[in-house]
Structure 1
Amino acid sequence: MAATRTSGGARGEMRPVPGGLAGHLVDFVDALRGKGISVGPSEAVDAAEAVVVLDLIDREALREALAATLIRRPTQRDIFDQMFNLWFPVARGFGGSAEADDAITIELPLDENGKVDPRALEDLIVDLLEQDTPEAMAQARALAELMVEQMGRYESTRGPSFSTYQTLGKLDASTIMQRILDGMIGENPDDPDGSGRIMEKAAAANLANQRVKGFFQQVADEVRRRTAEHSGRDRVANFAVGPSADHVDFLRANDADLQKLRTQVGPLARQLGHRLAARRKRIRRGDIDMRRTMRQSMSTGGVPMELVLRKPRKARPELVVLCDVSGSVSGFSHFTLQLVHSLREQFSRVRVFAFVDTVDEVTDFFSTGDDLAASMARMVREAEIVTYDGHSDYGFAFRGFAENYVHTLSPSGSVLILGDGRNNYRDPALGSLELITERARHVHWLNPEPKEYWGTSDSATPQYSEFVPMHECRNIAQLAAVVSQLLPV
């Protein structure tokens, strides 16, 4: 007997919201702010005015209107959609989302033991996603709801709970995507291996990936919706919805988060480049030209009424980056190196030095036009940045830099040090760091750890901060704010 889901069921009883729709919208805006999305009073007013003229039955129109009025950057859209699904759910309870006038009946395929057959379920998913019709998409949505109810539900001490992992754990996403791709491409006797249809295969692979991810996202959204009904939407928002991309903690980012962060390098570099150019244009004024000032004062009885300034030389500063690339801070260092690489045109010269327990120059690994991810992988593999145990040793790295590379610093240049300052209880080599600060015009330290952790355990940040200004850079938002103020002009 197959497990069945029929849409068009009765909706759950709605709880009254204090303040009605206006209060609900205010709660939604506060929730977005809690996730790092800056929503000002004017945006909230715009959203309220949009809600007044919308047909609230059209949920997607409401979603797009609120997105247009409340968020400012594309990177915030994913968080917005997750929060919207919690505050404006498609339905309440199981079987309450009627997506068509007629009832939709869908069944989970079962084996002879009455359990869900994963391979047959994959066949059903492939069949629905291959069709890509409104009817098939409605059935896919109904299937996602049924899977969460029948496969993802379990009993906990707090009552019914739902799990995305439990729902999708027995499915092979790569197999589903490959079968959809094979169905899109088909067989061509004149091109059996597909070598003549590379562009077509790439486009089809991208489309297949989008469909599979979209279906899995429906399952995740349904899990959050059902969990919010039992545990409360605020609890789900706090624990199941992560921060926006620009507020993801570098030290806690997983592979998916790091992938999103890398997409922000280009836009952030352009933004910082424009700011830097504007600052240079605004503050670049020459020194007083005494000879020309005195000559011009002859027309006013020898009184210098106007100062004549020398024309400034248009020179871009030099930048030296000294970064810890050990595992604990590798995500932060790699992202910041990508950012510096993207800003290289703003400087006359950029030299990069990396270390774990030994410092080595890695500038040549970041040549113009090279793939940054490949360059970093090659740097870790080929550069001499590990000598003995592979644990961070800032003191040994600073001594090595002072002995072998201090000549790269100039009185007009700047130094950026990247790392958490955790020295594993070794000699911090404060004398070598002091020498570095004396040779450069500006030295700043960017630390990805929270300030409350500085000085705890093996952290040598209190000693280092006596010589170098240290700045907390836990996420993109903090990094952009700090770098925009610190970059030399």
Structure 2
Amino acid sequence: MDATFALLVNALRNADIRVSTAETLDAFAVLSHVGIRDKTLLRDALELTLAKTLDEKKRFDETFDRFFEQLAFRVPAKRAMLGDVDRESILETLRTKTSNDVVDAVESVLDDDRDRLAMLVQEAASRLNLGNIRTLREKSYYVDRIADALSVSELDDYVGSTENADPAVRYLRQYFRQQIHDYVDAQYRLRVDATGKRALLAAALDSNLDQIPLEYQHEVRRVVEKLADKLVRDHRRRLRKATRGVLDIKKTLRRNVAYDGTMFDLRWRRHKREKSTVYVLCDVSSSVARVARFLLLFLYELTDVLPNLRAFSFSSRLGEVTDIFRSKPSDEAIEDALFVWGKGNTDYARAFMDFRELCGKDLNNRAVLVVLGDGRNNYYDARPDVFKELSKRVKQVFWLTPETPDSWGEGDSEIRRYAPHCFRVVTCNRIEHIERFAESLLTATR
């Protein structure tokens, strides 16, 4: 019973219900008083002990019911699909084409003996160690393996090789697959991802940023913030090593006189480096706005290690938004930048000339220029000579575009005319691309 209760607590935690060790011990005490005979009493008592908010109470009820009713084939087959079938004819046909296991399984469905099928699925799941499932990708593996254990693959082969297979047999094949899939999904949600957030984030990380639905972007933003925080910690650790320099013998000897010459406290000659200034030019027109949101958020989180960061937004005209990011929370700052400067037809030449006018005198060989945009200039004059002039004044130029190389140069895209003046032009339409670019940027600004 203790092991079963521990699994229940783990399932509750996977459902984002905060259950501490002390609360787990309290729940054990409650369990010893109310017992397990009355399921409703047990659920109400544990809910009062473990769930703190209305939202947690709702998730507790769902998880509790799912935990104690985790049987396969809970949904009966549709009588409308099987009501008028010739039972003996179907069974006789399957006996000549498939094994006895398939015939027995089909007969159980026709007799509505779902308990037997549920037992077979649980036995197969136990042999395959379904309890060890940890990732979303493993779900399809376990579905296929359990289906093989029930010989459903033979039914697949029969339906696939028979042109005029009985519609009832086709439905039974689909029914077996669906029930096994639902069972594996229930086990996954109990053990790994009760709320579905991990699956959502995994899908988001593999999707283009401009394809992520708006209602999911809050969770993706949290991932971006965590990635940026990890990147900052890693960068600081590498920076300490990079700036440590060589051993300072004189200072080391003086610091270790008290230890009879044993070198406990080493002193290093620090490298003093002038910090680079990073200029970020973001195209915030509608075609690039979603990617710009995440890049600006990532850079916002890096301000601790990039103190000399200046951000600019443009569509038709360019303006600086650095002060907005310093004075407002990230959400408000990004929305303000998009609203104020995201109007009009995109004109890269005009934006580069505005930038030259604002910051041309400040550019030097310690500056890094970052441009985010698709390079689509609405058939205006691209003026690559202006961009070339800017690139000569700075240390490095990075151009991030949400489009893949096969789209560069098509239609009104001028990115191939700007590319020769860049240190690197990369496709940036996923979170992993932004993370990889941020690492390159931090390396360039050491």
Letter in 2 for 1:66: I
Query: Counterpart in 2 of 1:376?
Result: 334
CA offset digits 1:302-330 (Å, max 9, x no partner): xxxxxxx9631155432111100111111
Distance 2:404 2:272 in 1: 40
Query: Counterpart in 2 of 1:66?
Result: 133
Indicate whether 1:448 and 2:402 are aligned.
Answer: yes
Letter in 2 for 1:341: Y
Identity of aligned residues (%): 24
Query: Counterpart in 2 of 1:75?
Result: none
Query: Counterpart in 2 of 1:267?
Result: 226
- Whether contact under 8 Å (2:231, 2:439) holds in the other structure is yes
Distance 1:276 1:242, change over 3 A: closer
Indicate whether 1:471 and 2:419 are aligned.
Answer: no
Query: Counterpart in 1 of 2:372?
Result: 418
Query: How far is 1:400 from its partner?
Result: 1.1
- Whether contact under 8 Å (2:376, 2:414) holds in the other structure is yes
Matches within 5 A, 1:285-434: 311-313=270-272, 315-367=274-326, 370-381=328-339, 383-384=340-341, 386=343, 390-434=344-388
Query: How far is 1:285 from its partner?
Result: 6.3
Distance 1:416 1:476 in 2: 17
Distance 1:281 1:444 in 2: 25
Letter in 2 for 1:481: R
Distance 1:81 1:255 in 2: 28
Q: Secondary structure at the match of 1:339?
A: helix
Task: Please point out which of 431, 438, 441 is paired with 1:483.
Answer: 438
Distance 2:229 2:127 in 1: 36
Query: Counterpart in 2 of 1:250?
Result: 209
Letter in 1 for 2:285: S
Query: Counterpart in 1 of 2:8?
Result: none
CA offset digits 1:329-357 (Å, max 9, x no partner): 11111100000000000023211000011
Letter in 2 for 1:421: G
Distance 1:398 1:60 in 2: 61
Letter in 1 for 2:207: V
Letter in 2 for 1:485: S
- Whether contact under 8 Å (1:322, 1:353) holds in the other structure is yes
Query: Counterpart in 2 of 1:281?
Result: 240
Query: How far is 1:275 from its partner?
Result: 3.0
- Whether contact under 8 Å (2:286, 2:342) holds in the other structure is no
Letter in 2 for 1:483: A
Query: How far is 1:10 from its partner?
Result: 7.3
Q: Secondary structure at the match of 1:434?
A: helix
Higher helix share: 2
Matches within 5 A, 1:84-123: 87=144
- Whether contact under 8 Å (1:338, 1:372) holds in the other structure is yes
Q: For structure 2, which runs of at least 5 residues remain unmatched after alignment?
A: 1-72, 83-93, 99-121, 150-169, 172-177, 186-199, 249-267
Letter in 1 for 2:331: A
Distance 1:278 1:242 in 2: 28
Query: Counterpart in 1 of 2:257?
Result: none
Matches within 5 A, 1:26-175: 56-57=124-125, 62=130, 65-67=132-134, 71=135, 79-80=136-137, 83=140, 87=144
- Whether contact under 8 Å (1:402, 1:435) holds in the other structure is no
Query: How far is 1:452 from its partner?
Result: 1.5
Query: How far is 1:87 from its partner?
Result: 4.6
- Whether contact under 8 Å (1:323, 1:419) holds in the other structure is yes
- Whether contact under 8 Å (1:324, 1:333) holds in the other structure is yes
Distance 1:420 1:89 in 2: 47
Query: How far is 1:80 from its partner?
Result: 4.0
Letter in 2 for 1:403: E
Distance 2:384 2:244 in 1: 37
Distance 2:141 2:274 in 1: 50
Query: How far is 1:242 from its partner?
Result: 10
Distance 1:244 1:88 in 2: 24
Distance 1:429 1:60 in 2: 64
Q: Which has the larger radius of gyration?
A: 2
Distance 1:91 1:363, change over 3 A: farther
- Whether contact under 8 Å (2:284, 2:341) holds in the other structure is no
Q: Secondary structure at the match of 1:263?
A: helix
Distance 1:481 1:449 in 2: 17
Distance 1:242 1:456 in 2: 33
Question: When the two structures are superposed, what TM-score results if normalisation uses the length of structure 1?
Answer: 0.48
Distance 1:413 1:88 in 2: 57
